[in-house]
């Protein structure tokens, strides 16, 4: 099982890293899944992820409070809006716009309705 957890964590982290540059792909849920998986498969990899400057605060906020920082919320919503605007500008077919709007609308709703961490209030 240890191999399965490490593999799942690595895949999730890879998708999270892709999410940094691909606005359609969310970063936070994949990083949280990676932390969850690594906690079950590898103490060393879990510690490395939790102590990282890039992802550590995000994981700590989620574990302590189920919270997402104001900066992460603004970045996520802005990037989703930008991608949708570019899709409109490119005149993508309406089924693609509908799917994209529903997917990103759902993701934005989830992210924006999470509480702020205490340090952001």
Give the per-residue pLDDT at 79.
84
pLDDT class of 121 with cuts at 50, 70, 90: confident
Give the per-residue pLDDT at 4.
96
The percentage of the chain sitting over the pLDDT mark of 90, rounded to a whole number, equals 68
CA atoms within 13 Å, Cβ hemisphere of 29: 9
- The lowest-confidence range among 5-9, 19-23, 64-68, 74-78 is 19-23
Q: Above 90 in pLDDT, residue 72?
A: no
pLDDT class of 83 with cuts at 50, 70, 90: confident
Q: What is the pLDDT of residues 5-52, one digit of tens each?
A: 999 999 999 999 998 887 677 788 899 999 999 999 999 999 999 999
Mean pLDDT of 44-61: 93
Mean residue pLDDT of the chain comes to 91
Higher pLDDT, residue 22 or 101 = 101
């Amino acid at each position: 099982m240890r191999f399965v957890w490490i593999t799942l964590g690595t895949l999730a982290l890879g998708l999270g890293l892709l999410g940094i540059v691909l606005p359609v792909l969310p970063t936070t849920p994949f990083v949280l899944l990676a932390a969850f998986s690594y906690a079950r498969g590898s103490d060393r990899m879990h510690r490395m992820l939790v102590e990282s400057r890039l992802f550590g605060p995000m994981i700590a906020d989620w574990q302590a409070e189920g919270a997402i920082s104001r900066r992460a919320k603004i970045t996520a919503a802005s990037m989703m809006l930008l991608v949708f605007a570019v899709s409109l500008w490119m005149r993508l077919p309406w089924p693609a716009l509908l799917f994209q709007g529903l997917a990103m609308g759902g993701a934005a709703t989830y992210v924006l309705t999470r509480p702020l961490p205490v340090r952001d209030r």
